[in-house]
Amino acid sequence: MNDLEQSQVKYDLLSRQLNDEFIEVLRVLESRLTLIHPQPDTLRRTLVDPKLNKLTEKRDDFILRCILDHAQNYSEERKAFFSENMKQFGQQNVRDACREVGITYFGNIDNLQGWLQSL
């Protein structure tokens, strides 16, 4: 029973630390992130000419299109896209599309953190 209670105490402590660190990360990112507002044409192009071809990838294709459209409209700003979803967003055609509009793609958190610290 003592071991269980100690585990609960440690869990609670780690949970609070994680929560605090997550909130801190959100504060840091808040000054560097931009909310993207999808446009109706973006949805149409997702349906008519998808970058990701599988039917099950339509949501990811829409996300990608929104990001690419936003990047084209704000070409003078530094841009990064982070997703560990390498299956869809790590595809070469997706990486090429990101590069064409000036987006640096990151598939792991360590590389993204290094990039953010270099800013």
* Helix or strand (DSSP H, E) at 8: helix 2-30
pLDDT in tens, the chain (119 residues): 888 899 999 999 999 999 999 898 888 878 777 778 888 888 888 888 888 877 778 888 898 899 898 898 887 878 888 888 888 888 888 889 999 999 999 988 888 888 888 88
Decide: helix, strand or coil at residue 84. Answer: coil
> For the chain, what percentages of helix, strand and coil (3-state, to nearest 5) are there?
65, 5, 25
pLDDT of residue 11: 93
Domain ranges of the chain: 1-31, 39-118
pLDDT of residue 39: 86
CB–CB of 105/98 below 8 Å? Answer: yes
Closest CA to 21 of 81, 109, 107: 109
pLDDT of residue 18: 93
